[in-house]
Structure 1
Amino acid sequence: MTGLSIEATLELWVSSLRDVKTRMRPLFTQERIAVSAGQFLDGLLGDERRKTGWMRAEAAGDAGPWRQQAILGRGQWDADALRDIVRDYALETLADPGAVLVLDETGFLKQGKASCGVGRQYTGSAGKITNCQIGVFASYVSRHGHAFIDRALYLPKAWTDDAARMARSHVPDNTDFATKPALALAMIERAIATNVPFSWVAADSVYGVGDIEMALKRAAKGYVLGVNANHPFRAWGKPLAVAGTAKDIAESLPEDAWQRLSAGEGTKGARLHDWVYLDLADLDADDFDATFPGIWTRGLLIRRNIADGDLAFFSTWCPAGTSIETLVTVEGHRWAIEDSFESAKNELGLDHNETRSWHGWHRHVSLVMLAFAMMAAIRHHANVAPPPKTMWTSRRSTGN
């Protein structure tokens, strides 16, 4: 944070924390509960490595963790209302028409069988099948920064098929099994319904085909969605005849078809890969029952790792004439949600939730999302360059 002085940054921190506490105050019917929720937020933002109930209670000056635990358990308040507050708050700083909505999941390692949604399932967080919960998230990524704006707890069929188990974890009665893509689609639909400004969606192969593609086409949103190597592609109405699996198409390309491009800056500099983009078909909006005019292009984007030649494949949808550089940049925005997961877990206790219930998970995660959005807003404002000095301000500062 280099745009503001230390004093100004501290003032920004204090005013931002006061602001977010004020925004969530209407969620609570009693002042003492609101105060405890504010202290919970203080604990998430504190220096303690583990954001446990005891740690947060000690920071709040409480004799034990009961008040902190009550925020997640016994208290009566709506975590989805807080989710909406987080979204609106984040957009005040980060909103941009060209933003990318990035969808991904992360694991929450757990012991036992009681925590809502827990089970033996694969998580990229551990790189293996293990006992965990899975949360699906939507991150809003723009030139101003990035923050989570939506989340959902994935419930395996072993949970949704067991009514008694669902009841013990206080899962709402109308909750049925939903795949991870279905949870992500609901987030996209919420973002569109609430007029969240974005032009693109990026996600890995878990979310790359099906209803998400059609919903984005009809909403005039571009996408770069991961697909498996055996996903079929076919060109029509194009000079280059392409047909086959993504892997077969990639292997048939001449070496001079590849371009070395950066997907954005990483911790070690530009994230360079070799890329190919093939536009496969142009479609008029009328062809897919859309209500807007224009020609859009369906394509295949292929990424090749420079070091080992490993390939990744992406189904794309974009306005006709969109450049490969733009599509590569959109795909590169996926790093932001990975960075967000790491930061939120290491610094804000995203995976330190000690509750076992449905509402406990959503409340804890939503409070962490609020803390993360606050940090994103502070980072943006602190990095804004100060206005250039005028002749008048220069003279005042020198006493002339």
Structure 2
Amino acid sequence: MGTSGKIDNCQAGMFLAYASGAGRALIDRELYLPTVWTEDPARRADARIGEEVRFATKPAFARAMLERAVAAKVPFRWVTGDEVYGQDPVLRGWLVDNGLSFVLAIAAERRVGPRGQNARTLAAILPDRVWEVRSAGDGAHGLREYAWALVMLPGQVDGFDDALLIRRSLVDGEQAYYLVHTPIDTPLVDIVRAAGARWAIEETFQAAKNEG
């Protein structure tokens, strides 16, 4: 979702993107309505919003779309998304319960370490030898190469590991952090590729704009 740079009337759409080696496409969508809309009878009446429509968080919409994808037997290995989804324990719990692998962004301040360390602190104490330069896929200007590190977190669930994935820019050292839930012994290259698939939504939107 982009911004107009000013106060404006708009619709906030949520989309589920499907990405594979053969291409990418938007396969589902929901209209996000904030509480200023769902709790205002006059606005609801003017916009003809049905009584069945209630406020839902973005992670709740994400789960609904994923449930529909699972029910439709859409074949996929990974779920990825930004911090809005990574910070939601209900969505993460549903993914774990359904045996789905994920790479979800989290904030640097998120506490994930065995001693209560946050993601930034864990990254800071890692030795140089654990970092690997990998590409997260093709970008507009070539391969998106970063340094990556994977820190295993305590506990395993039915053959799955939990881990913290850290991405570090080779240009300015800026870092990003992800919670990972994946089958034991999944190669780093596969996890990095899944993290890079998050750009599928932005790239699909850009392609659609270019077609307009």
Give your verdict on TM over 0.5.
yes
Distance 2:121 2:4 in 1: 27
**2:89 alignment partner in structure 1:** 210
**1:259 alignment partner in structure 2:** 132
Aligned mate of 2:44, from 158, 166, 183: 166
Distance 1:270 1:346 in 2: 22
Bigger relative contact order, structure 1 or 2, given CA contacts below 8 A and separation 6+? 1
Q: Shift in Å at residue 129 of structure 1?
A: 6.7
The one-character-per-residue Cα deviations of 1:272-328 (angstroms, maximum 9, x if unpaired) are 00110011134233xxxxxxxxx1100000001111111100000000001111110
The one-character-per-residue Cα deviations of 1:199-230 (angstroms, maximum 9, x if unpaired) are 11010111113211111111111000000111
The equivalences for 1:73-222 within 5 A come to 106=1, 125-126=2-3, 130-131=7-8, 132-208=10-86, 209-222=88-101
The equivalences for 1:6-21 within 5 A come to none
Distance 2:191 2:116 in 1: 21
Tell me if structure 2 keeps the 8 A contact 1:141–1:333.
yes
Distance 2:211 2:130 in 1: 43
Q: Shift in Å at residue 243 of structure 1?
A: 4.3
SS of alignment partner, residue 12 of structure 2: strand
**2:189 alignment partner in structure 1:** 325
The equivalences for 1:234-383 within 5 A come to 234-235=113-114, 243-285=116-158, 295-348=159-212
Distance 2:11 2:101 in 1: 30
Post-superposition, which runs of at least 4 consecutive aligned residues in structure 1 deviate over 3 A? 127-130
Distance 2:119 2:113 in 1: 10
Which one has a larger percent strand, Structure 1 or Structure 2? 2
Q: Shift in Å at residue 127 of structure 1?
A: 7.9
- The verdict on how the C-alpha distance between 1:217 and 1:128 changes in structure 2, with shifts beyond 3 A counting, is farther
How many positions carry a matched residue from both structures? 210
- Which amino acid is the alignment partner of residue 169 of structure 1? A
Q: Which moved more, 1:129-138 or 1:147-156?
A: 129-138
SS of alignment partner, residue 343 of structure 1: helix
The one-character-per-residue Cα deviations of 1:39-85 (angstroms, maximum 9, x if unpaired) are xxxxxxxxxxxxxxxxxxxxxxxxxxxxxxxxxxxxxxxxxxxxxxx
Sequence identity percentage: 39
Q: Shift in Å at residue 256 of structure 1?
A: 2.5
> Considering only aligned residues, what root-mean-square deviation do their CA atoms show, in Å?
1.6
TM-score with structure 1 setting the length: 0.50
Q: Which runs of 5+ in 2 are unaligned?
A: none
Tell me if structure 2 keeps the 8 A contact 1:282–1:320.
no
SS of alignment partner, residue 276 of structure 1: strand
Q: Which runs of 5+ in 1 are unaligned?
A: 1-105, 107-124, 236-241, 286-294, 349-400
- Which amino acid is the alignment partner of residue 112 of structure 2? F
- The verdict on how the C-alpha distance between 1:128 and 1:206 changes in structure 2, with shifts beyond 3 A counting, is farther
Distance 1:260 1:159 in 2: 46
